[in-house]
Amino acid sequence: MKTDADLRRYRTAIVIGVDRKIQYFIPGIAPNDPRTLLRLRFHDFLSEITDGYVVDVICEEAKDGLESIAETMANREQVPYRNIEMSVQRRAELGIPLLFTIDLPGAEIPAEQIVKWNAFRESDMVDELLHAAADARVLVVVCSVSHLPVLVQILQLKFRRVAQYDVTAMPWFDRSLL
């Protein structure tokens, strides 16, 4: 009699919610500037969280075209990296402006439209994540805090252990340094 093994028990996902501004170093500021030190602390946090795991893939909701701290870490550790943010091309296909989350003077975007666009973006992000995670035994995901609950819930269907961290709730996090 053939049975399908539950491979979930061998799989771990680590989901890290962030304020997206912490994901990138600020060009041109001094190495000892408090804003740089905050980002270095975030880098150390990523290293501490993943220490002891053989990470198969790092997925991140990141700005297109900018190298993030997590991507730099993935490259250094030779771990596959996947940006799960909706591409600029896909946004254009769906009519989602690039700056829809920024409250611009004179821009009157109905709240219902923003909710709809966010749902499209989140759905696309989940698809990208599940594709990237298909064969991973250990997965690291960096996303904005607002997407943390959804991504954790989805990954619990595929991974036995899903650890979640909210960087904005860490004692070392200082929003004024973003």
The reported pTM is 0.90
pLDDT greater than 60 at residue 4: no
pLDDT greater than 70 at residue 102: no
Give mean pLDDT, residues 93-109.
72
Give mean pLDDT, residues 60-84.
95
Give mean pLDDT, residues 62-86.
95
**pLDDT computed for residue 1 by the predictor:** 47
Rg (CA), the chain: 17
What are the pLDDT digits (tens) for 146-176?
999 999 999 999 999 999 999 999 999 999 9
Question: Who has greater pLDDT, 156 or 2?
Answer: 156
Domain residue ranges of the chain, discontinuous segments joined by +: 7-177
**pLDDT computed for residue 6 by the predictor:** 54
Average pLDDT value over all residues in the chain:
91
**pLDDT computed for residue 65 by the predictor:** 86
**pLDDT computed for residue 106 by the predictor:** 65
Give mean pLDDT, residues 137-153.
97
**pLDDT computed for residue 158 by the predictor:** 94
**pLDDT computed for residue 108 by the predictor:** 77
